[in-house]
Amino acid sequence: MPFQITISPELHAACPRFVGTAVLATFENSPHSDALWQEIDRFLDSYRSLLTIDSIKEMPSIQATRQAYKRLGKDPSRYRPSGEALVRRALQGKELYQIDTAVDLINLASIAYGYSIGGFDADKIQGESLCLGVGREGEPYEGIGRGPLNIASLPVYRDAVGGIGTPTSDHERTKLELSSRRLLAIVNGYDGNREQTTACAQYIQQLLKKYAASDGGELMQF
């Protein structure tokens, strides 16, 4: 069953151009996919031959996310959005982290398009709806691999229990694991480019079909 995803008035007021595109799909996760990593390596070789670290200044998807953080009162250099962090790592020539196939393919899509992408185990989400709002002072949040994270003034997706995802880090409670069977991936377009967020989501669908025994699932736009 699809999730209903909405945008709070508070977030909309600060980021009126925001558009989101999500993928909801069943899949089979694995610790590692040699074929996927061959594709990642080929992509990175081409990516690095065309772009430099200075190119980030000209990427609308990244710059719009940074501006959204600033409008909400958060320092994007201290709480770096994941899309920017991945692109920086790639363009600095550093190896990407290998997590598992689902997370690795989402990271590839994030680098390819520059968007911060939330990747959640859909079966761990409480309730049937998510709302994109703004983090509050003292709001508890456990970032994946980061421990307690101060999400005050960060964009945050909340389910019936609380926050599950920010552009800086997703929450431990809904993280993808090898046992996960339903993926909700959300492409966050603070640049307002519906065409590009849709293309990024469709790329995730293609990667799921190739490397995660999925039919690609369905797209949701909000």
Q: How confident is the model at residue 2 (pLDDT cuts 50, 70, 90)?
A: confident
Q: How confident is the model at residue 117 (pLDDT cuts 50, 70, 90)?
A: very high
**How much is the mean pLDDT over the chain?**
98
DSSP result, 129-143: EEEEEE--TT---EE
Please give the share of the chain, as a percent, with pLDDT higher than 70.
Answer: 100
> Looking at residue 161, what DSSP letter applies?
S
Task: Give the C-alpha separation, 66 to 81, whole Å.
Answer: 8
For 147-157, what is each residue's pLDDT tens digit? 999 999 999 99
CA distance 190 to 14: 10
Give the domains, in start order, of the chain with CATH numbers.
Answer: 4-221 (3.50.40.10)
Return d(Cα 142, Cα 19) in angstroms, integer: 26
pLDDT in tens, 62-111: 999 999 999 999 999 999 999 999 999 999 999 999 999 999 999 999 99
Alpha helix positions (H), 81-216: 82-91, 101-113, 194-211
pLDDT of residue 150: 98
* Banded model confidence at residue 1, pLDDT cuts 50, 70, 90: low
Query: What residues contact 87, with CB distance under 8 A and at least 6 apart?
Result: 56, 59, 62, 110, 111, 114
Compute the distance between CA of residue 130 and CA of residue 7 in angstroms, rounded to an integer: 9
Q: What is the mean pLDDT of residues 203-221?
A: 98
Residues 172-178: what's their mean pLDDT? 98
The pLDDT tens digits for 40-64 are 999 999 999 999 999 999 999 999 9
